[in-house]
């Protein structure tokens, strides 16, 4: 028996190397290589005179500002995807709704407004958590339904009007503070949202990789039934993913509302699909349980670069949507194919 074992061990060593190199190339560096590719592409296009002002401080800042917002939303939604529940389609309305709530509550001062806003964000997260975690509603259908409910509430309560922080705030200072959520820059350079994003990335990466919750989430995402049979409270684990997503969406909502200086039902439109695209490009499979926050950040960077280059090229918004959709399809397809060739027949 011991003879058999030694022979087998030798064999397995040779085999193991093959898989790990292939796997590593696919998983960790892939997305950042793509980011560098687009950066180089931009520079080449600029040097050929096809686009202007790509490699300028202002433009790089623009890209960063743009990806910051997307990043905040995407790293939270990544938990939903990681849990094997695809995406939270209620993110755009959560952003709009919490933004409107915050503007409305500025009449009581800045800090009270923030607290109330996050309570509302938490509430939305809990509603999703109960419906999808506990009652196992289909995540896409449920969150889409929530979109309509939230939109209805906004239309009824605010009579379909836009609301402005400078009219509602109890003092000019309050409205300035609100404006500064997006505009404040440390040392005049690093924006507050970017700092928030970096903190989020570090914190959520830690949660996903190093905590008890993260380990249980991974198992739940990869095989929900098996996780449940292993004694994991999957209802709680899945619910928490939606709560995290709703809270980052709230943060995103505050930022985007501060940016536009208006509480408006269409703030945040498109962030659902952009976030999913970034997540999937970043190597997090829709089937759940695989990928990382750092990968998602890479995906966000790539999305920002693509958007920026397309805008500089003068491609219209509709065409940009089309291109983004196409990229999504290609990435999901390639993802499925590479998994299959590794002997994992799911995507």
Partner 1 sequence: MSSEDIKKEKSFDIALEMKCVSKEFPGTLAVDSVDFDVKTGEVHALIGENGAGKSTLMKMIAGSFNDYTGDIVMGSQKVDLFTPAQSKKNGIEMIYQELSLAMPLSISENVLVGRLPKKGIFLDKKKIAEETTLCLERVGLGHLDPNLQIEEISQHEGQLVEIAKALGNNPKILVMDEPTSALSREEVERLFTIIHNLKKQGLAIVYISHHLPEIFEVADRVTVLRDGKKIGTNDISEVTSELLVQMMVGKSVADFYSYNSHAKENERLRVENLSRFGFFHDVSFSALEGEVLGICGLSGAGRSELGRSLVGLDERHAGDVFLDGEIFKPSHMSKAVDNGLVYLTENRKTEGLALRLDVKDNTLVSIIPQLSKNGVYTSNDGDEILTGLIDELSIYPPDPTKIVGNLSGGNQQKVLLAKWMACKPKVLILDEPTRGVDIGAKMTIHKSIEALAKKGSTIILISSDLPELVSLSSRVLIMRKGRIVKDMRKEECTEESVLLAANGENV
Query: Which listed residue (289, 295, 298, 299) binds partner 1 by CB under 8 A?
Result: 289
Element (H, E) at 191: strand 190-191
CB 132 to partner 1: min, Å: 17
Residue 15 as a binder of partner 1 (CB under 8 A): the answer is yes
Bridge partner list, 163 = 263
User: What's the first-to-final CA gap in the chain, in angstroms?
Assistant: 39
Query: Which listed residue (47, 160, 230, 326) binds partner 1 by CB under 8 A?
Result: 230
Span interacting with partner 1, options 191-199, 204-212, 248-256, 307-315, rule CB under 8 A: 204-212
- Closest by CA position to 335, among listed 27, 29, 75: 27
Query: Which listed residue (127, 154, 219, 241) binds partner 1 by CB under 8 A?
Result: 219
Residue 4 as a binder of partner 1 (CB under 8 A): the answer is yes
CB 235 to partner 1: min, Å: 8
Determine the Cα–Cα distance for residues 116 and 15; give it in Å rounded to an integer: 56
Count of residues engaged in binding partner 1, rule: CB under 8 A:
41
CA angle 120, 124, 129 (to 5 degrees): 140
Site string for partner 1, 18-47 (x = CB under 8 A): xxx-x-------------------------
Determine the Cα–Cα distance for residues 164 and 169; give it in Å rounded to an integer: 9
Phi, psi of 186 (to 5 degrees): -70, 135
Element (H, E) at 185: strand 185-186
Span interacting with partner 1, options 174-182, 193-201, 287-295, 303-311, rule CB under 8 A: 287-295
DSSP secondary structure code for residue 51 in this structure: S
DSSP secondary structure code for residue 106 in this structure: G
Interacting residues toward partner 1 by CB under 8 A: 1, 4-5, 8-9, 11-12, 15-16, 18-20, 22, 210-216, 218-219, 222-223, 225-233, 287, 289-290, 341-344, 346
């Amino acid at each position: 028996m011991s003879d058999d074992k030694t022979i087998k061990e030798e064999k397995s060593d040779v085999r193991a190397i093959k898989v790990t190199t292939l796997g590593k190339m696919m998983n960790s560096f892939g997305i950042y290589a793509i980011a560098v590719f687009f950066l180089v592409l931009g520079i080449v296009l600029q040097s050929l005179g096809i686009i202007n002002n790509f490699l300028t401080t202002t433009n790089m800042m623009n890209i960063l500002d743009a990806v910051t917002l997307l990043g905040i939303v995407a790293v939270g939604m990544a938990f939903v995807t990681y849990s094997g529940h695809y995406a939270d389609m209620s993110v755009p309305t959560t952003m709009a709704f919490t933004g409107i709530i915050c503007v409305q509550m500025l009449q009581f001062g800045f800090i009270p407004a923030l607290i109330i806003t996050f309570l509302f964000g938490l509430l939305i997260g809990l509603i999703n958590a109960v419906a999808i975690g506990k009652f196992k509603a289909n995540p896409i259908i449920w969150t889409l339904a929530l979109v309509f409910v939230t939109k209805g509430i906004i239309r009824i309560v605010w009579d379909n009007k836009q609301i402005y922080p400078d009219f509602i705030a109890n003092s000019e200072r309050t409205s300035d503070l609100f404006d500064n959520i997006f505009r404040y820059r440390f040392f005049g350079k690093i924006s507050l949202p970017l700092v928030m994003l970096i903190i989020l990335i570090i914190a959520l990466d830690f949660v996903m990789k190093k905590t008890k919750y993260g380990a249980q989430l991974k198992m739940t995402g990869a095989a929900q039934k098996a996780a449940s049979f292993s004694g994991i409270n999957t209802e709680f684990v899945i619910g928490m993913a939606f709560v995290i997503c709703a809270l980052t969406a709230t943060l995103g909502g505050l930022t985007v509302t501060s940016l536009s200086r208006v509480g408006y039902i269409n703030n945040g439109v498109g962030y659902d699909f952009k976030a999913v695209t970034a997540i999937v490009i970043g190597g997090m499979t829709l089937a759940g349980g695989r990928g990382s926050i750092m990968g998602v950040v890479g995906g966000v960077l790539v999305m920002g670069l693509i958007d920026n280059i397309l805008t500089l090229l003068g491609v219209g918004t509709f065409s940009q949507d089309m291109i983004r959709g196409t990229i999504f399809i290609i990435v999901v397809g390639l993802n499925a194919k590479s998994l299959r060739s590794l002997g994992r027949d799911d995507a």
